[in-house]
Structure 1
Amino acid sequence: MSEIFSELPKKRRTAIVNAGLEVFSKFEYKRASTEEIAIKAGISKGLLFYYFHNKMSLYMFLLDYCNDLLKEQSEIMKLEDITDFFEYIGKAVELKTILLEKNPYIMDFTMRAYYSQNEIISEKLQNKIQKDMNDQYSTHFKKVDYSKFREEADPEEIYQMLIWMTDGYLHEKQRRSEAINVVSVKKELDKWIDKLKRISYKEDYL
Structure 2
Amino acid sequence: MEDRLSSLSEEKKNAVVNAALEVFGTNEYKRASTDLIAAKAGISKGLLFYYFKNKKELYMYIFEYVMEKVGPRLLDRHFFEITDYFELLAYAADKKARILSSFPFLMEFSVRAFFTSREDVSEDMNSFMKNQMDTMFVDYFKNVDMTKFREDIDPKEILNMLLWLTDGYLHQRMFYTDTVDADELMRQFRKWSEMLKRIAYKEEYLTEMVGRRQKNERD
TM-score, normalised to structure 2, is 0.84
Rg bigger for which structure? 2
**Structure 1 moving runs of 4+ over 6 Å:** none
Percent identical pairs in the alignment equals 43
1:27 aligns with 2:27: yes
- Alignment map for 1:1-206 (pairs within 5 Å): 5-76=5-76, 78-117=78-117, 119-206=119-206
Tell me which of the two structures has the higher relative contact order, counting C-alpha pairs closer than 8 angstroms and 6 or more residues apart: 2
Q: Which residue of 1 aligns with 2:214?
A: none
Task: Measure how far apart 1:118 and its partner are.
Answer: 7.2
Q: Greater shift after overlay, 110-119 or 58-67?
A: 110-119
Whole-angstrom distance in 2 between the partners of 1:136 and 1:7: 34
Letter in 2 for 1:64: E
The 2-side partners of 1:119 and 1:76 are apart by: 34
Assess, with a 3 A threshold, how the Cα gap between structure 1 residues 2 and 35 changes in structure 2: closer, same or farther. farther
Supply the AA of the counterpart residue of 1:76. D
Cα pair 1:24 1:32 within 8 Å, conserved? yes
Stretch of structure 1 that moved more, 113-122 or 52-61: 113-122
TM-score by length of 1: 0.89
**CA drift at 1:10:** 2.8
Q: What runs of 5+ residues in structure 2 fail to find an aligned partner?
A: 207-219
Q: Deviations over 1:99-141 (max 9, x none)?
A: 2221252232233223454722222322223223333333211
Indicate if the aligned counterparts of 1:116 and 1:122 stay in contact, CA closer than 8 A. Answer: no
Most deviating of 164-173 and 96-105: 96-105
Matched letter for residue 124 of structure 2: K
Question: How far apart, CA to CA, are the structure 1 residues paired with 2:113 and 2:145?
Answer: 32
